[in-house]
Amino acid sequence: MTYDNLSLYLTNPTFIILALMSVYSVTVMINQAYYLFSSRERGPELVQLLENARSGYTELTAILKAKDTPHRRLVKAGLKHSQQSAEALGALLSEEAKGLRWEAEHRLAALGTIANTAPFVGLFGTVVGVIRAFQAIALKASAGPSVVASGIAEALISTAAGLFVAVPAVVAYNYFLKRARKLSLELDHISTLLIYRGGK
């Protein structure tokens, strides 16, 4: 690749858009990975403690203070309002769980959007590049196959760049979505236990 070709790619709007999408996608992946790492919880152990806890959950106090995770925040909310009726406690925990689920999933919307649109952005760049290549051929009656091949090759790089951005985003999106759904199920289980044990 010559310096002129490199300059052409760096000033191409399609490549600029794809580069920005790639940077943002990687940023979202890092943020989501950090969130999941910092929110790790031994769900089965916490659920077992809830199932075996006596009235008042006094044995959970030290455990809940040790780490801040979505699971423990939900338990704290349940303990704080454990004297309310089962209906009121259920409504409160439902709203709390919705907020925690949103916290786990809201980053994924942007990642899914990038995964879906990056190939189309690349394809758009390819179509524009092919049009320009044929326009150049039309202006040069003596242009040979080498000119056509060169122009189309440059245009197809846009499609490759779009796939390069999209594939990691798709893989990361599916992985993080699976983890978010697992977290949602765990929160629902904890909510059910809190309502059963604490609601009046």
Q: What is the residue-level pLDDT of the chain in tens, covering all 200 positions?
A: 444 455 555 567 888 899 999 999 999 999 999 888 877 776 566 666 666 655 445 666 666 776 778 888 888 888 777 777 778 888 888 888 888 888 888 889 999 999 999 999 999 888 888 887 777 777 766 556 666 666 677 778 888 999 999 999 999 999 999 988 888 888 888 888 777 766 55
**Which pLDDT value is given to residue 4?**
47
Distances (CA, A) of 178 to 4, 25, 127, 175: 44, 18, 35, 5
Closest CA to 111 of 65, 173, 18: 173
CA–CA gap between residue 109 and residue 141 (Å, rounded): 49
- The radius of gyration of the chain's CA atoms, rounded to the nearest angstrom, is 26
Give the count of alpha carbons within 13 A of 187, CB side only. 29
What average pLDDT is seen over the chain?
79
Closest CA to 104 of 194, 24, 183, 192: 183
Closest CA to 177 of 29, 42, 76, 46: 29
CB neighbours of 36 closer than 8 A, spacing ≥ 6? 176, 179
Identity at 12, one-letter amino acid code: N
Closest CA to 82 of 100, 58, 63, 102: 58
Tokens 């091949």 label which residue?
149
Decide: 151 and 136 in contact? Cβ < 8 Å: yes
**Which pLDDT value is given to residue 198?**
60
pTM: 0.77
